[in-house]
């Protein structure tokens, strides 16, 4: 017998409709890539997004068509998100930091019909458009004065000007595709994760719980995590739902620029990758300043060094929550929050609502949740992928419907997750696993270290041994022995790196993570 409740499909347009109706005057602040600050509110975002929907419909965009965006965080980008998804089309976010050949491959695989881009991304467009025959129109998220003469693009402001804002949103099933995001393709071709309205809706609500992101309508949210990076961790849905003031920083994410926005806008909450928090911390230390309104940050995308979290919490009184997830999980899977975060810790925390986890050994057998036993981390849930776009015939789930994350981890009796490595990065020495992440975190605490990375290198006796690679802070100098001495007592003796190598720059991937594939190529098999 079905329940006697109203039919209310969980479609993403409801987030912005709610914000317009009940938080319409709440401010949305946007910094252009060139530096100018613009201000609007949720009512403005809603009206302009519907005007954009009309432009898409008049072009002939229909449900399930893919519309790509190549842009940083801005009010126009937010409008485009809702304008695309509101009519049942698929918002395909492209990462401007990917190589041009990979971007072109992704656009072609998705068969995008339109592409919206920041003016800053015009050089990228010129590289990829000749290789992308499916693209029918280019819309620059700009006004007429910013249009280059040789691109054949239309200005976003001109395209939506004068259009009606009464476009009907929703009116389709909640399992309709809403967003498309490709993995970075560090091994093999990138893989498309196709989100549904329902999955993103439930994920967005889950993030608002007190022990996840936990902000409210009283907060000012600085969305540092890019909108092209796994749904901006749900911020573009959660902030309108809560009625929080939303600050969108554009492409300028250096320490000085981030601090300026935080202070001028009264930011209380922010989320981003560790490299951004390291840059901000270096600015605070160098300039002897401190944030006056910031209360909490969430760090994710890669492991946050303990020294980084400790400094923010103990010196500046800012709570740092460490999160873990992946594109295939929409993306948040766990968050380390109070009371587990009473002191800085490296654990990734407990599973958020709508996520289940387990560990298995190499043979697929259960691994005990004792906080010590390593296993392959597998997940399932309402916002976890069951297949990849246009690869539906490939089974990515096991017999029980679990998705293998590719991470090696431990779980303790209380459900606290600790990621020890990616399966492809784990170092197997003498038949035992060594966690490169734990060594990296210990080395990163050295006062002279800007970044630290650990990779496995071949060893005649042990199979593999860890090599520590260090990027020093500007002006610093150090010896290998100085770092080895520093690690004494911080890691197991048999984990001690075989050697220490100093480099000018540790390469980062398109999402801000250390690119170990490039490190291995440079160190183990240099050209």
pLDDT tens digits for 198-228? 999 999 999 999 999 999 999 999 999 999 9
Per the CB < 8 A criterion, the answer to whether 405 and 332 are in contact is no
Residue 81 lies in a domain: yes
Is 46 among the domain residues?
yes
In the prediction, which pLDDT does 256 show? 97
Q: Is the pLDDT of residue 340 over 60?
A: no
Query: Does residue 283 lie within any of the structural domains?
Result: no
Q: Are 327 and 181 a contacting pair, CB within 8 Å?
A: yes
Predicted pLDDT of residue 460:
81
Percent of the chain exceeding pLDDT 70 equals: 97
Tokens of 144: 């007429």
Residue 20 CA neighbour count, 13 Å, CB half:
16
Helix axes 13-23 and 235-242, enclosed angle (nearest 10): 30
Task: Quote the strand ranges of 313-415, DSSP E.
Answer: 319-325, 332-336, 350-351, 355-360, 375-381, 403-411
Calculated CA dihedral for residues 122, 142, 228, 40, nearest 10 degrees = 160
pLDDT of residue 82: 98
Q: In the chain, how many domains are there?
A: 2
User: Contact 31/44 with Cβ under 8 angstroms?
Assistant: no
Q: What value does the mean pLDDT take over residues 34-49?
A: 97
Q: Are 347 and 340 in contact (CB under 8 A)?
A: yes
* Residue 90 within any structural domain of the chain: yes
Pairing mode of beta strands 296-299, 269-272: parallel
Q: What is the CATH number of the domain that holds 58?
A: 3.40.50.980
Pick the catalytic residue: 22, 315, 433, 494? 433
Which of 167, 190, 213 terminates a domain? The answer is 190
Q: Is beta strand 463-472 parallel, antiparallel or unpaired with respect to 449-459?
A: antiparallel
Between CA 175 and CA 188 the distance in angstroms is: 29
Please say if the pLDDT value at position 453 is more than 60.
yes
Tokens 């995308």 belong to residue: 301
Active site residue 428: yes
The verdict on residue 456 lying in a domain is yes
Structure tokens at 420: 């020890």
**Residue of 196, 320, 246, 337 lying closest to 19 (CA atoms):** 246
Q: Is residue 433 part of a domain?
A: yes
Q: Which of these is catalytic: 11, 183, 327, 511? A: 183
Q: Where are the alpha helices (DSSP H) in 266-368?
A: 274-287, 306-310, 316
- pLDDT tens by residue, 101-135: 999 999 999 999 999 999 999 999 999 999 999 99
Structure tokens at 403: 């998705």
pTM: 0.88
For the cut 90, the answer to whether the pLDDT of residue 461 exceeds it is: no
Q: Which of these, 69, 84, 71, lies nearest to 30 by C-alpha position?
A: 71
Q: What is the pLDDT of residue 187?
A: 55
| pLDDT surpasses 60 at 147 | yes
Q: pLDDT tens digits, residue range 6-23?
A: 999 999 999 999 999 999
Share of residues in the chain with pLDDT > 90 (%): 78
| pLDDT digits 0-9 by tens, 365-399 | 999 999 999 899 999 999 999 999 999 999 999 99
- Considering 134, 165, 190, which residue would you say is the last residue of a domain? 190
Q: Give me the residue label for tokens 């008049």.
A: 58
- What gap in Å lies between CA 334 and CA 278, rounded to an integer? 22
Candidates 55, 76, 88, 35; CA nearest to 196 is: 88
Q: Please check the confidence at residue 526 and state whether its pLDDT lies above 70.
A: no
Choosing from 428, 432, 482, 494, which is the catalytic residue?
A: 428
> For residue 462, what pLDDT is reported?
82
Q: Residue 26 has what pLDDT?
A: 98
Q: Measure CA of the first residue to CA of the last residue in the chain; give whole Å.
A: 68
Assess whether 324 carries a catalytic annotation. no
pLDDT of residue 467: 94
From the list 17, 79, 306, 328, the catalytic residue is 328
Is 328 a catalytic site residue? yes
Instruction: For residue range 392-435, list pLDDT tens digits in order.
Output: 999 999 999 999 999 999 999 999 999 888 877 878 787 677 88
Full residue range of the structural domain in which residue 462 is found: 425-523
DSSP letter string over 192-218? EEEEEHHHHHHHHHHHTSTTTT---TT
How many angstroms separate the CA atoms of 86 and 14, rounded?
9
Across all residues in the chain, what is the average pLDDT? 93
In the listed set 173, 190, 207, which residue is the last one of a domain according to the structure?
190
Residue 295 lies in a domain: no
Structure confidence at residue 346 as a pLDDT band (50, 70, 90): low
CATH number of the domain that residue 467 is part of: 3.30.300.30
Q: How far apart are CA 246 and CA 291, in angstroms?
A: 18
Exposure b/e, 418-447, CB count within 10 A at least 16 = b = bbbbbeebbbebeeeebbbbbbbbbbbbbe
Which whole-number Å values give the CA distances from 98 to 116, 271, 314, in the listed order? Answer: 16, 21, 36
Residue 498 in contact with residue 504, Cβ under 8 Å?
no
In a domain, 335, yes or no: no
* pLDDT (0 to 100) of residue 246: 98
């Amino acid at each position: 017998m079905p329940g006697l409740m109203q039919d209310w499909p969980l479609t993403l347009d409801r987030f912005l409709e709610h914000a317009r109706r009940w938080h319409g005057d709440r401010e949305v602040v946007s910094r252009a890539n060139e530096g100018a600050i613009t201000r609007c509110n949720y009512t403005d975002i809603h009206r302009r997004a519907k005007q954009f929907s009309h432009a898409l419909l008049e072009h002939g965009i229909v449900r399930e068509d893919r519309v790509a965006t190549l842009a940083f965080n801005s009010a126009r980008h937010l409008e485009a998100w809702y304008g695309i998804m509101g009519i049942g089309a698929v918002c395909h976010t492209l990462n401007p930091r990917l190589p041009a050949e990979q971007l072109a491959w992704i656009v072609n695989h998705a068969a995008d019909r339109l592409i919206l881009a920041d003016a800053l991304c015009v050089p990228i467009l010129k590289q990829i458009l000749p290789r992308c025959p499916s693209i029918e129109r280019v819309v620059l998220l700009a006004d007429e004065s910013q249009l280059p003469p040789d691109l054949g693009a239309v200005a976003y402001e001109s395209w939506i000007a004068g259009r009606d804002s009464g476009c009907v949103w929703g009116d389709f099933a909640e399992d309709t595709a809403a967003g498309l995001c490709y993995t970075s393709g560090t091994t093999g071709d990138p893989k498309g994760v196709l989100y549904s309205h329902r999955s993103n809706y439930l994920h967005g609500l889950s993030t608002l719980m007190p022990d996840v992101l936990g902000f409210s309508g009283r907060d000012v949210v600085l969305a540092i995590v890019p909108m092209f990076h796994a749904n901006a961790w749900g911020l573009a849905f959660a902030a309108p739902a809560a009625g929080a003031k939303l600050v969108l920083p554009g492409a300028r994410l250096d320490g000085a620029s981030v601090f300026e926005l935080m202070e001028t806008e009264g930011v209380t909450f922010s989320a981003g990758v560790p490299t951004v928090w390291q840059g901000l911390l270096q600015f605070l230390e160098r300039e002897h300043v401190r944030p006056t309104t910031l209360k909490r940050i969430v760090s994710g995308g890669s492991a946050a060094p303990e020294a980084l979290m400790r400094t923010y919490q103990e010196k500046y009184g800012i709570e740092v929550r460490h999160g873990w997830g992946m594109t295939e999980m929409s993306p948040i899977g766990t968050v380390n929050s109070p009371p587990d975060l009473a002191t800085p810790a490296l654990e990734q925390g407990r599973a958020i609502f709508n996520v289940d986890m387990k560990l298995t050994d190499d043979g697929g057998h259960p691994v005990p949740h004792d906080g010590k036993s390593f296993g392959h981390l597998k997940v399932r849930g309402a916002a976890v992928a069951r297949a990849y776009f246009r690869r539906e015939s490939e089974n990515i789930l096991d017999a029980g419907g679990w998705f293998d994350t590719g991470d090696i981890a431990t779980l303790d009796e209380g459900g606290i997750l600790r990621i020890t490595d990616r399966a492809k990065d784990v170092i197997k020495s003498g038949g035992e696993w060594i966690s490169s992440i734990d060594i990296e975190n210990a080395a990163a605490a050295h006062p002279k270290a800007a970044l630290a990375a650990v990779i496995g290198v071949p060893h005649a006796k042990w199979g593999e041994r860890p090599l520590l690679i260090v990027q020093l802070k500007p002006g610093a100098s150090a010896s290998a022995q100085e770092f080895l001495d520093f690690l004494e007592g911080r890691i197991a003796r048999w984990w001690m790196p075989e050697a220490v190598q100093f480099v000018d720059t540790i390469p980062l991937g398109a999402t801000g993570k250390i690119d170990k594939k490039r490190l291995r190529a440079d160190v183990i098999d240099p050209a």
